[in-house]
Amino acid sequence: MDTDSIRLFVLAAERLNISAAGRALGLAPAVASARLARLENELGVELLRRTTRKVSLSLDGSDFLPYAREILAQAEAARAVLGGAGAGPKGTLRFAAPSSFAQLHIMPLLPECHALYPDLVLDLRLSDSRFDLIEGSFDLALRSAPLVDSSLKGRKLSDETRVLCAAPGYLEAHGTPRTPSDLAGHRMIAWSSLQPRELVNTAGETAVLDASRMVCQLILDDGGAQREATVAGAGLSINSLWNIAREIEAGRLVRVLPDWRLNDRSVLWLFYPRSNVLTPKTRVFMDFLGDRLGDRPGW
């Protein structure tokens, strides 16, 4: 199969626009359509459904898309090997990350990344809700979780500590908890799951944080919004130290029960599909993030 035709198909599938995909590769619309038709004839399936109004992926096209991306990745890796050290990463890297983390710690690094790798295009999908790495055809994803999916590989970016915090004004109005049992009756800014969470202190003792014994009038699924609500005095919250370090340093937030943290063994991981090759673009971006964000003190 012709890799140029496969690249055209991948672009058309991502943009759902054959003409736009062709223009990105310097092809006239008629030439792009003809090349895709030849690819479909070669494969014996319809990859894209075309109407006068829109283009959409067929079921066969959806099944073929991750393999098409893998073919391009293999070709890119092979060219990088043959090109030696001077061959820089090229192409589009699809990267999924929590929005709250990316805004604080990845966005400020992008100008440096672009300067180092001018031929690398970053397609960032940012949400505190998790993406499916395989179905979404992502090259890389940042998550706070153990590596349990056998179809993925991972590289540790940094340890992560989650703690209770509150605004000084909230504590002045409602009192400062001194023990885990004092949390009962306090206002809690909760995540979507209200399941009991285990706390552990520096001596190794454990306690249960039970949201059902607290007042949960606000449930948020975005770390940045949760941080700002906590600063505003809406209640206590559980936050990762990477999310609130600046607020604690500035005195806008203080740790509640400072000897205790959430006992979930959180680790920030960079996940990538378990494939035959790790493409140059994925490797250099992982190394770039690792060099600048790996094992940050205080996280």
Q: How far apart are CA 285 and CA 95, in angstroms?
A: 10
For residue 88, the model assigns a pLDDT of 66
273 and 249 both lie in a single domain: no
For residue 134, the model assigns a pLDDT of 47
Residue 97's DSSP bridge partners are 126
- Examine the fold and report which residue of 87, 112, 136 is the final residue of a domain before the chain moves on: 87
256 and 175 both lie in a single domain: yes
> CATH number of the domain that 20 lies in?
1.10.10.10
Question: Where in the sequence is the domain holding 176, given as residue range(s)?
Answer: 162-262
Number of domains making up the chain = 3
Closest CA to 92 of 285, 256, 260, 296: 285
Instruction: Give the containing element (helix H, strand E) for 91.
Output: strand 91-97
32 and 171 both lie in a single domain: no
What is the average pLDDT value for the chain, to the nearest integer? 88
CB 160 within 8 A of CB 271: no
> CATH number of the domain that 289 lies in?
3.40.190.10
Query: pLDDT tens, 77-113?
Result: 777 666 554 556 788 898 999 999 999 999 999 999 9
Instruction: Give the containing element (helix H, strand E) for 164.
Output: strand 162-166
98 and 153 both lie in a single domain: yes
176 and 253 both lie in a single domain: yes
Low pLDDT (below 50) residues in the chain = 85, 134-135
